[in-house]
Amino acid sequence: MVCDDVKRIVYFYLDGALSDKKRTDFSSHLDECPDCGNRIQIQKKLRNFVVNRLARRSAPDSLRARLLQRFASIRNGISDSA
């Protein structure tokens, strides 16, 4: 495997989507090529940053309760005037 191959399939590697043979070849290349090894580390950090930033977070319970109360009062106001 050469550096261009690594650049082309890095995301498949990070996704765990490579066959055993390609993953072995990829890992062997990383062991021999510090530039590609550094590139992969940067890609992993970037990927982890994006995943963490896009992670779902729940609203605090107090906000949820206030919103549900507000929605209920709006719904009741609409049904009372209809």
Q: Copy the structure tokens of residue 38.
A: 């550094």
Q: Mean pLDDT across the stretch 55-67?
A: 89
Question: In which domain, by residue range, is 15 found?
Answer: 3-81
Q: Copy the structure tokens of residue 7.
A: 């650049």
Supply the pTM of this predicted model: 0.60
CB 24 within 8 A of CB 30: no
Q: Residue 82 — very low, low, confident or very high, per pLDDT cuts 50/70/90?
A: low
Total of domains in the chain? 1
How does pLDDT run across 27-59, given as a tens digit for each residue? 999 999 999 999 999 999 999 999 888 888 888
